[in-house]
């Protein structure tokens, strides 16, 4: 795990000294710069900074229009946020077994798909990638959305592609015990402009309520 050093202390000091701590109309544009750099690193067109990986998962599902009555397939071995995010948008998490890699077993996914299934959340656990080729094939076959949970695999790759850039939306977590730390934070990435715009609207609604 990385520890805080002089560079991190100076960066935080600069922000605090500016007394400009709110993201909107922030002259330093620290969050904007991070989103631009993170999108470039992952290889997507858009990135949205959030408060946590959990927030990234919830916002992603909401942007996809997933809600009450919908089913979302999640692995049986993961952090609880993967399933609780599904519950947070009113949908139903459907648990699927993992294989010897400790990531979701593609062979078991197809057995759990029903007419109510709307998405799959493959979790790249402990830095190990899921079998995204087979998962994307299932998504195409059954017209399902993919939200990659890369909260424990920031910067990891699968066959030359950054984890989080393969599905419809990728999610990340940046807390003290993760690969990258912002104290506590998260992000989502996507190549879909509409999903990015929906995520922004969902985030605004969560922060400010209906306009």
- What's 7-61 look like in SS3? HHHHHHHHHHHHCCCCCCCCCCCHHHHHHHHHHHHHCCCEEEEECCHHHHHHHHH
Whether 150 is in a domain gets the answer yes
pTM of the model: 0.89
More confident residue, 85 or 202: 85
DSSP-derived pairing of the beta strands 71-75 and 117-120: parallel
CATH of the domain at 65: 3.40.640.10
Question: Which range of residues forms the domain containing residue 183?
Answer: 32-208
| pLDDT (tens digit per residue) in 142-181 | 999 999 999 999 989 999 999 999 999 999 999 877 777 7
Task: Choose the catalytic residue: 13, 17, 115, 178.
Answer: 178
Per the structure, how many domains does the chain have?
A: 1
Is 115 part of the annotated catalytic residue set?
A: no
Whether 25 is in a domain gets the answer no
């Amino acid at each position: 795990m990385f520890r805080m050093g002089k560079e991190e202390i100076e960066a935080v000091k600069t922000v605090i000294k500016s007394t400009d701590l709110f993201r909107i109309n922030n002259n330093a544009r620290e969050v904007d710069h991070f989103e631009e750099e993170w999108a470039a690193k992952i290889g997507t067109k858009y990135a949205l900074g959030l408060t946590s990986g959990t927030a990234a998962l919830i916002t992603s599902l909401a942007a996809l229009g997933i809600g009450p009555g919908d089913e979302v397939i999640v692995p049986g071995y993961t952090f609880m946020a993967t399933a609780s995010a599904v519950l947070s948008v009113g949908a139903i998490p459907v648990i699927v077994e993992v294989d010897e890699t400790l990531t979701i077993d593609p062979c078991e996914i197809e057995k759990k798909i029903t007419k109510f299934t709307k998405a799959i959340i493959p979790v790249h656990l402990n830095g190990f990638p899921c079998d995204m080729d087979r998962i994307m094939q299932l998504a195409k076959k059954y017209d399902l959305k993919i939200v990659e949970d890369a909260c424990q695999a920031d910067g990891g790759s699968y066959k030359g592609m950054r984890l989080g850039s393969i599905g419809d939306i990728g999610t990340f977590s940046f807390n003290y015990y993760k690969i990258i730390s912002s104290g506590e934070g998260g992000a989502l990435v996507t190549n879909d402009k509409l999903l990015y715009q929906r995520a922004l609207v969902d985030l605004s609604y969560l922060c400010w309520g209906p306009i």
